[in-house]
Amino acid sequence: MTAIVRSELELGIATAARRVLPGGGFGNLASDIVIRAGRGGRVWDESGNEYVDFLLGSGPMLVGHAHPDVTEAVLAQVPLGTTFFANNRHGIRLAETIVEAVACAEQLRFVSSGTEADMYAIRLARAFRRRERILKFEGGYHGMSDPALMSLAPKQPGNFPLASPDSAGIPARVRDEVLVAPFNDLAAVEALIEAHHDELAGVIVEPLQRVIAPSPGFLEGLRRITAQYGIVLIFDEVVTGFRFAYGGAQEYYGVTPDLCTLGKVIGGGFPLAAIAGRADIMAHFDRARVGDDGFLMQIGTLSGNPVAAAAGLAALEILRRPGAYERIFATGRTLMTVLAELLAKHGIAGQVVGEPPMFDVVFSADPIVNYRDVLRGNAALAGRFNAKLRARGIMKGDTKYYVSLAHDDADIRHTIAAWDGALAELAAEDAATPR
C-alpha cells in the first residue's frame, strides 16, 4: 500500500487555501490535496506523492499531461501574444478541424467553458424556435447555468416532469422553464414531447449520461420525435466530444443532433469550448442574417484564445494518428473487465458502467439505467472505496474514471493492484461489522 504523507509545504498551502477560498478549494476536487505537476498518465502533489491519474483535469487531458507536441504548440504561440479579442489563425483552423470531424457541425462559435457552451446552446434553441421551455434528463449535467441546475442531483427526486433546483440563488420561475424526463425511458420522453411540443424549444441530453450508456434505440428515438416536431436536439458533448471517437459520441452511437456542445478535449488542457451545429440555427449569432429580433448576442474575452486553440489543434492531431482510439479503448476495456472480476472475487455487489474511455462502479446489485438507479447505490461504500484508492496512489473524481492515451501497462498494473487491495479491505471491514 502506498504511503501518502503530507509535507509541511502542502499543509501550509492547504491552510492558506482555507483562509482565502470558500470551503478551502476551487469548488472542484476535495481540497485536501494540492497538485504540483502532471506528466503522461500520472500526477504528483506538493508533498511528492505520485498517483495514476484518472481525473485528467476532469477530462481534458485525453492525450496525457504535458504531451510534448501540445507543449511545443503552446510555447510557439505564447511569445507571439496570448489573447487578442479578435480572429486568429489557430482559432479559425481549429473551427475548420471541428467542422470537418463532427457530423452536426456546419458552423461553430467558441466560448471558454462547457457551462457557457451549454447555456448558449439552450439560448440558441429558444431563439430558433421562438419558444422557451427546455426538456432535460434527471441526473444530466449541463454546466452551472440556472436551467442546467434543475434536477441535476436531487436527493429526493420529484414527479416527472417537475424540476427541482440544485442550488441556492435560482429564481423560482426557472422551474416552469424546464421539463425533466427519466434517461433511457423513451416512452416517457415521447409522451412528454407529445404533450408539450408546442412549448418546447429544445431537448438537451448527454449521449452518455455521466457514466450511464444509452439503451438501444433511445438516442435514435429522441432524434425521431424531436425531428417530427422541429424541436432542436442538443447533444452535450463537452465530455464525450473527441473522446468516444474522433467525431464524438454522435459518431460512436450513430445519431446526429441539430446542435452539440464541445469542450475539454478541444482545448488541449486550456479553457476552450464551443457550440456547433446546423448553419440555419447558428445563423442567430449573425445579426446580418437574422436581424435585430433574432440576433443572439455572444461575446467572450477569451473566446477562441490563440494559445488554447493551438493546444487544441495539437491534441486533435495526436488523436488522428493511427491506433490512438484503439489504444484508449483497449486500456478502458481491460480496466472495466478486471474491475468487474475483482468485485465478484471479493463478493461485493457492484455494476461497472460506462464506456471504455469513461466508466465507474456503482455499488448496487441491480442494473443501472438512469439516475435513480445510481441514487439507490451504496454511496457510502463508493466513498470508502475512493478514499482507499487515493491512499494507494489512484487519483479519480467521485463519479468516474477518465482513461487517457498516455495510460500505460505500468499504470494498469498499479490500478489493478490498488483495486484488489482496496476491495479486500472493504470486504474484511464489512465482514467484521456486526449485523
Q: Percentage of the chain with pLDDT > 70?
A: 99
pLDDT at 1: 47
Cell of 348: 461485493
Residues constituting the chain: 435
pLDDT tens for 353-406 read 999 999 999 999 999 999 999 999 999 999 999 999 999 999 999 999 999 999
Q: Is residue 2 part of a domain?
A: no
Count of domains forming the chain:
2
d(CA 43, CA 38): 4
Separation of CA 153 from chain center: 15
CB 43 within 8 A of CB 37: yes
Question: Is a pLDDT exceeding 80 seen at residue 328?
Answer: yes
CA triplet 146, 147, 149: central angle to 5 degrees?
A: 70
The pTM for the full model equals 0.96
pLDDT at 3: 67
pLDDT tens for 99-128 read 999 999 999 999 999 999 999 999 999 999
pLDDT tens for 209-260 read 999 999 999 999 999 999 999 999 999 999 999 999 999 999 999 999 999 9
pLDDT band (50, 70, 90) for residue 431: confident
Of the three residues 269, 299, 319, the one that is the final residue of a domain is 319
Residues annotated as catalytic (active site), given as ranges = 141, 236, 264
Q: Residue 129 maps to which CATH number?
A: 3.40.640.10
96 and 110 part of one domain:
yes
413 and 295 part of one domain:
no
333 and 287 part of one domain:
no
> Helix 306-319 vs helix 324-345: angle between axes, to the nearest 10 degrees?
80
pLDDT tens for 124-179 read 999 999 999 999 999 999 999 999 999 999 888 888 998 999 999 999 999 999 99
Q: Is residue 178 part of a domain?
A: yes
pLDDT at 392: 97
SS3 call for 59: coil
What's the domain range around 99?
68-319
pLDDT tens for 65-93 read 999 999 999 999 999 999 999 999 999 99
CA triplet 202, 231, 276: central angle to 5 degrees?
A: 65
338 and 251 part of one domain:
no
Of the three residues 298, 319, 340, the one that is the final residue of a domain is 319
151 and 18 part of one domain:
no
Of the three residues 292, 319, 346, the one that is the final residue of a domain is 319
19 and 41 part of one domain:
yes
258 and 343 part of one domain:
no
